[in-house]
């Protein structure tokens, strides 16, 4: 009898007891707003910023309401405005071009490789079109950051890193988010730490961070930040930078602080699960696993594979057959956006020329979440189901 998987691909682990206790402390005293403190009290949000900055080796950190807000704030801090062009990945999620559009700028999409990273040759050809790159480490795949930064530095292009899928990852030992001038992270439920919504922005640039703190809605309370530039950095920007409120609150910060302390262990657990599924799909005819560079220390919180050059009908058969057995696969090749799986041609507020080389890859990308609520045996069962159904379709129908 065919196996049926009964787990949930959207069920995250519960908040830990120490996170719940910290949240209850905030609820009991009622001072949820980050600037609502008493005496010499240090707000949970200020402590969280300090701890995250130390964790990834950044000079400054700002906690905000979401990863998307962090990206839009980064763009504004860099002076990006209406009609400016911003380079970004063709393979990403909608909040990335959304952040660009939110400041009135225009995305210029850069192609994707079979490693699911930004196409550096295509980037090199387009660097003269913009002076900012919003680089998305989409689904946890990190490109050759040494080459990318060398290309961008030579062209005078400043890099913002979207690290929504790479908190805890690194390239050649440098944490994700620390190569560009600003790094942005998400704490949304399906990310590596979970406060429902939330995000971080990090930088070593005092001017950029001062602007970001004012933009986030600090009023003139920036001295209450512990991972922000000194007061003199704010003097040149505090009267000319608008307040676009998007602060994180103390309740979410209290939930996040214990999770940050456990991040390394969580990364190791994700990678165990990733390895089990990858091993179960190894050498399967018709299915292409995604190569990883030895320089990339990744976080396997999701897994992707390619059904490259398959017909749309054959891919849909695989999706239907796996779904019937409880395995929820997402596909980036659909003509209409479904859930989070939109693509550059879906974002009609950001029209683009056709990119046939990238379209071929996007048409084959299959995505699989691996929440930590899955056991290793769950992951092995998922791999068995995918392997069986891909094999049936591959053998029985022209792909």
Domain co-membership, 253 together with 116: yes
Per-residue confidence band for 398, with pLDDT thresholds at 50, 70 and 90: low
Domain co-membership, 30 together with 90: yes
Domain co-membership, 249 together with 276: no
pLDDT at 399 over 70: no
Number of domains in the chain: 2
Last residue of a domain, one of 261, 284, 302: 261
**Can you state the angle between helices 17-29 and 250-261, rounded to 10 degrees?**
160
Mean pLDDT across the chain: 96
The residues near 117 (Cβ < 8 Å, ≥ 6 apart) are 138, 141, 142, 143, 144
9 domain residue, yes or no:
no
| CB distance 162 to 137 below 8 Å | yes
Domain co-membership, 221 together with 348: no
189 domain residue, yes or no:
yes
242 domain residue, yes or no:
yes
Domain co-membership, 90 together with 161: yes
Domain co-membership, 188 together with 60: yes
2 domain residue, yes or no:
no
Per mean pLDDT, which range of 44-58, 175-189, 237-251, 326-340 is the poorest? Answer: 326-340
3 domain residue, yes or no:
no
pLDDT at 171: 98
pLDDT at 375: 98
Q: What is the mean pLDDT of residues 37-48?
A: 96
SS3 of 286-324: the string is CCEECCCCCCEECCCCEEEEECCCCCHHHHHHHHHHHHH
Domain co-membership, 157 together with 30: yes
Domain co-membership, 62 together with 105: yes
Measured from the Cβ of residue 26, the count of other Cβ atoms closer than 10 Å reads 19
124 domain residue, yes or no:
yes
Domain co-membership, 267 together with 257: no
pTM, to two decimals: 0.96
Domain co-membership, 282 together with 257: no
pLDDT at 176: 98
Instruction: Please report, for the domain that includes residue 369, its CATH number.
Output: 3.90.1150.10
12 domain residue, yes or no:
no
pLDDT at 1: 54
pLDDT at 340: 87
pLDDT at 333 over 70: yes
Last residue of a domain, one of 230, 261, 292: 261
pLDDT at 339: 86
212 domain residue, yes or no:
yes
Last residue of a domain, one of 208, 229, 261: 261
| CB distance 341 to 70 below 8 Å | no
SS3 of the chain: the string is CCCCCCCCCCCCCCCCHHHHHHHHHHHHHCCCCCCCCCCCCCCHHHHHHHHHHHHHCCCEEEEECCHHHHHHHHHHHCCCCCCCEEEEECCCCCHHHHHHHHCCCEEEEECECCCCCECHHHHHHHHHHCCEEEEECHHHCCCCHHHHHHHHHHHCCEEEEECCCCCCCEECCEECCCCCCEEEEECCCCCCCCCCCCEEEEECCHHHHHHHHHHHCCCCCHHHCCCCCCCHHHHCCCCCCCCCCCECCHHHHHHHHHHHHCHHHHHHHHHHHHHHHHHHHCCCCCCEECCCCCCEECCCCEEEEECCCCCHHHHHHHHHHHHHCCCCCEECCCCCCCCCCCCHHHCCCCCCCCCHHHHHHHCCEEEEECCCCCCHHHHHHHHHHHHHHHHHHHHHCCC
| CB distance 227 to 248 below 8 Å | no
Instruction: Please report, for the domain that includes residue 98, its CATH number.
Output: 3.40.640.10
Provide the residue range defining the domain that includes 356.
263-396
| CB distance 58 to 193 below 8 Å | no
Per mean pLDDT, which range of 102-106, 110-114, 308-312, 345-349 is the poorest? Answer: 345-349
Alpha-carbon span 72 to 246, nearest angstrom: 11
pLDDT at 68 over 70: yes
pLDDT at 259: 97
Domain co-membership, 236 together with 267: no
Domain co-membership, 106 together with 154: yes
Q: What is the pLDDT of residues 335-393, one digit of tens each?
A: 888 888 889 999 999 989 899 999 999 999 999 999 999 999 999 999 999 999 999 99
């Amino acid at each position: 009898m065919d196996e049926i998987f009964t787990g949930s691909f959207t069920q995250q682990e519960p908040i830990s007891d120490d996170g719940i206790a910290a949240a209850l402390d905030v609820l009991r005293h009622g001072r949820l707003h980050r600037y609502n403190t008493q005496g010499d009290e240090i707000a949970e949000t200020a402590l969280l910023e300090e701890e995250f900055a130390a964790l990834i080796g950044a000079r400054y950190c700002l906690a905000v309401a979401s990863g998307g807000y962090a990206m839009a704030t980064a763009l504004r801090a860099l002076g990006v405005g209406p009609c400016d062009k911003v380079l970004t990945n063709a393979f990403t999620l909608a909040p990335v071009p959304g952040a660009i559009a939110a400041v009135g700028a225009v995305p210029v999409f850069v192609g994707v490789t079979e490693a699911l990273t930004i196409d550096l040759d295509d980037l090199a050809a387009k660097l003269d079109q913009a002076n900012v790159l919003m680089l998305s480490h989409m689904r946890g795949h990190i490109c050759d950051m040494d080459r990318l930064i060398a290309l961008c530095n030579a062209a005078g292009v400043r890099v913002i890193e979207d690290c929504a899928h790479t908190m805890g990852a690194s390239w050649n030992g440098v944490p994700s988010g620390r190569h560009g001038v600003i790094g942005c992270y998400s704490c949304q439920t399906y990310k590596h730490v979970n406060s429902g919504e939330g995000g971080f922005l990090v930088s070593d640039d005092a001017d950029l961070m001062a602007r970001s703190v004012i933009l986030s809605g600090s009023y003139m309370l920036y001295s209450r930040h512990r991972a922000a530039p000194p007061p003199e950095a704010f003097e040149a920007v505090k009267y000319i930078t608008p307040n676009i409120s998007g602060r994180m609150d103390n309740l979410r910060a209290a939930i996040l602080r214990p999770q940050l302390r456990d991040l390394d262990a969580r990364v190791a657990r994700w990678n165990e699960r990733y390895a089990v599924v990858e091993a179960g799909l190894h050498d399967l005819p018709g299915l292409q696993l995604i190569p990883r560079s030895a320089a990339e220390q990744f976080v396997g919180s999701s897994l992707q594979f390619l059904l490259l050059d398959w017909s749309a009908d054959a891919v849909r058969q695989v999706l239907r057959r796996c779904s019937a057995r409880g395995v929820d696969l997402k596909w980036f090749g659909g003509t209409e956006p479904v859930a989070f799986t939109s693509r550059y041609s879906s974002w009609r507020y950001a029209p683009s020329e056709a990119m046939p080389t990238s379209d071929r890859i996007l048409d084959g990308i299959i995505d699989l979440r691996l929440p930590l609520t899955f056991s290793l045996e769950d992951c092995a069962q998922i791999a068995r189901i995918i392997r069986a159904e891909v094999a049936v379709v591959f053998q029985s129908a022209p792909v």
